[in-house]
């Protein structure tokens, strides 16, 4: 049995001292030694011979604020055969994350305070990552009746984001009511943009490749029509709307349009929509099925530019574990979704930093600071500075490794990057002074949680 903390506050910060030796904050300047005391950064220029209860060798690598992912699926409760809060937290720690937001499409649906609190407490008891539950917008994800945003927001889990992700809140009147309600509670609505009447039976991006293969196509307009509609609703009713996994050129244009008008809309992009395209359909491998589908090269180019320009605010993985029986089957029967937590940083760094398009400060912005601003999460996404919580990630910017689903901490293996070579790797992760990942391997859970 798990021993739950007594209060709804965060799990304990580490007590004592931790010295992270030889790291370069944001990859800038000379390497320094970072001293952490009782979970807080105490000194950014400690002497090399400083004594500490625990010492981590940073190896001259890059020090970033702990990464934050506002879109994951940890599958608990209900599908613990594919992922649990424990295995998902370990995957997060190995990916450099110190906080994740886990979506509401669990079984039962995360639509009540009691379920939100059980997820939150369990994440804290495991202690490898702060696991923030996302509440559903509608009861049972049925799209008909709103959940009690206020009760979930005021619960111990302090739910800050609501989403029916996996499904779209397609009824415009329900979405309008949700936006009005969210405004009063000051919570974020995250929309999975998919007009279901345009995607019935669709399994792949509607384009040349799906047509050749005889696969039913998922048109861009199915996504963009909802982005446009929700921009207009946010304009008129003032709630904060966040676009999950933007995947098309048109979505980028619509978010640009909304932001230019001061509409409170933000957007995320997944690593897979930045680098993979629908040419992968020829493999017929179910691991490439995802929702929204992999698009075309010019979509990926537009998404990368939009992330650099700040039109798209942040990276979120949409980490979606599935069992092999759900993926190793006919393409149209494969469940949509891909693992993402353990490859995200490598993809972003390899695509943007190693190519000279961006620097580590920018990585900290799109993978840590901006996600926290969007969700209004305190304690994470903070600058690396004395007095700040020690939520930190050490990254090796020059380390070649090969992705392997079997080697990942996630309980599932559905990575689309199997066998792919990456050149950036997370070395250590620290959560409020606790070492949650050391030399690329997640630490043991704080309590004996079920695996």
* Nearer to Zn ion (CB atom), residue 227 or residue 430: 227
Q: What are the residues facing 59 on neighbouring strands?
A: none
- The nearer residue to Zn ion, 32 or 244, going by C-beta atoms, is 244
CB 52 within 8 A of CB 351: no
Minimum CB separation of residue 257 from Zn ion in Å reads 22
> Is 423 marked as a binding-site residue?
no
Q: Stretches 80-88, 158-166, 293-301, 378-386: which one binds Zn ion (CB under 5 A)?
A: 158-166
Nearest residue to Zn ion, using CB?
192
Report helix, strand or coil for 238: coil
The binding track of 106-145 with respect to Zn ion, each residue x by CB under 5 A or -, is ----------------------------------------
Q: Is residue 354 annotated as involved in ligand binding?
A: no
Closest to Zn ion by CB, 182 vs 317, is 317
Number of Cβ atoms within 10 Å of the Cβ of 325: 9
User: Which residue, 190, 219, 191, is CA-closest to 204?
Assistant: 219
- Of these, 21, 160, 167, 192, which contacts Zn ion (CB under 5 A)? 192
Among 165, 230, 268, 396, binds Zn ion (CB under 5 A): 165
Q: Toward Zn ion, which CB reaches closer, 244 or 294?
A: 244
105 labelled ligand-binding: yes
| Least Å from the CB of residue 191 to Zn ion | 9
CB 174 within 8 A of CB 247: no
Looking at the Cβ atoms of 35 and 244, the one nearer to Zn ion is 244
Is 322 flagged in the annotation as binding?
yes
Q: How far is the CB of 167 from Zn ion (least distance, A)?
A: 8
318 known ligand binder: yes
DSSP string, 8-66: SSPPPPPPSEEEEEEEEETT-SS-EEEEEETTEEEESS--TT---SEEEEEEEEEEEEP
Looking at the Cβ atoms of 165 and 313, the one nearer to Zn ion is: 165
**Minimal distance, residue 242 CB to Zn ion, in Å:** 12
Closest C-alpha to 430, from 104, 23, 71:
23
Footprint of Zn ion on residues 232-261 (CB under 5 A)?
244
Angle formed at CA 331 by CA 325 and CA 333, multiple of 5 degrees: 55
- d(C-alpha 239, C-alpha 129), whole Å: 29
Minimum distance between the CB of residue 319 and Zn ion, rounded to whole angstroms?
Answer: 11
Q: Is residue 318 annotated as a catalytic residue, yes or no?
A: yes
Options 130, 313, 318, 396, the catalytic residue: 318
Distances, alpha carbon 432 to alpha carbons 3, 16, 130, 179, 380, in Å: 20, 11, 10, 34, 10
Query: Which of 26, 40, 147 shows the shortest CA–CA distance to 430?
Result: 40
The nearest distance, CB 192 to Zn ion, in angstroms, is 4
Q: What is the DSSP letter of 135?
A: B
Site residues for Zn ion, 406-445, by CB under 5 A, read none
H-type alpha helices, 285-397: 297-309, 324-327, 344-348, 360-364, 370-375
192 is in an annotated binding site: yes
Q: Do 91 and 104 touch, CB atoms closer than 8 A?
A: no
Binding site for Zn(2+): what residues are annotated? 71, 73, 165, 192, 245, 318
The residues that are catalytic are: 318
Binding site for substrate: what residues are annotated? 73-75, 105, 291, 322, 336-337
Please report, as ranges, the residues that interact with Zn ion according to CB under 5 A: 165, 192, 244
């Amino acid at each position: 049995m798990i021993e739950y903390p007594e209060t709804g506050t965060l799990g304990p910060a580490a007590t004592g001292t931790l010295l992270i030796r030889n790291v370069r904050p944001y990859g800038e300047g000379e390497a320094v030694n970072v001293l952490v005391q009782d979970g807080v950064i105490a000194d950014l220029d400690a002497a090399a011979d400083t004594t500490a209860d625990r010492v981590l060798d940073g190896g001259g690598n890059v020090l970033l604020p702990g990464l934050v992912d506002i879109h994951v699926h940890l599958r608990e409760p209900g599908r613990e055969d594919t992922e649990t809060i424990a295995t998902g937290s370990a995957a997060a720690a190995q990916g450099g994350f110190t906080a994740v937001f886990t979506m509401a499409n669990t079984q039962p649906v995360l639509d009540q305070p009691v379920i939100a609190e059980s997820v939150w407490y369990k994440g804290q008891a495991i202690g490898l990552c702060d696991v923030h539950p996302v509440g559903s917008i509608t009861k049972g994800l049925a799209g008909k009746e709103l959940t009690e945003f206020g009760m979930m927001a005021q619960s111990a889990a302090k739910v800050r984001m609501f989403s029916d992700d996996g499904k779209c809140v397609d009824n415009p009147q329900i979405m309008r009511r949700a936006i009005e309600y969210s405004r009063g509670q000051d919570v974020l609505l995250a929309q999975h943009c998919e007009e279901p009447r345009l995607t019935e039976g669709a399994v792949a991006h509607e384009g040349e490749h799906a047509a050749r293969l005889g696969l039913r196509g998922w048109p861009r307009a199915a996504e963009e029509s909802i982005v446009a509609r929700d921009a207009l609703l946010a304009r008129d009713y003032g709630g904060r709307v966040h676009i999950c996994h933007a995947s098309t050129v048109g979505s980028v244009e619509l978010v640009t349009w909304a932001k230019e008008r001061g509409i409170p809309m933000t957007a995320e992009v997944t690593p897979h929509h930045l680098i993979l395209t629908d040419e992968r359909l020829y493999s017929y491998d179910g691991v490439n099925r995802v929702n929204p589908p992999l698009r075309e090269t010019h979509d990926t180019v537009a998404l990368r530019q939009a992330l650099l320009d700040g039109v798209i605010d942040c990276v979120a993985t949409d980490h979606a574990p599935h069992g092999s029986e759900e993926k190793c089957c006919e393409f149209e029967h494969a469940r949509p979704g891909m693992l993402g937590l353990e490859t995200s940083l490598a993809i972003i760094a390899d695509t943007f930093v190693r190519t000279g398009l961006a620097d580590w400060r920018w990585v900290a912005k799109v993978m840590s600071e901006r996600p926290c601003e969007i969700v209004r999460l305190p304690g994470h996404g903070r600058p690396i500075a004395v007095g700040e919580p020690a939520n930190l990630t050490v990254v090796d910017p020059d380390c070649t490794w090969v992705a392997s689903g079997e080697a990942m901490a996630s309980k599932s293996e559905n990575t689309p990057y199997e066998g792919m070579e990456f050149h950036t790797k997370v070395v250590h992760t620290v959560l409020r002074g606790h070492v949650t990942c050391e030399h690329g391997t997640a630490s043991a859970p704080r309590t004996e949680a079920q695996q």
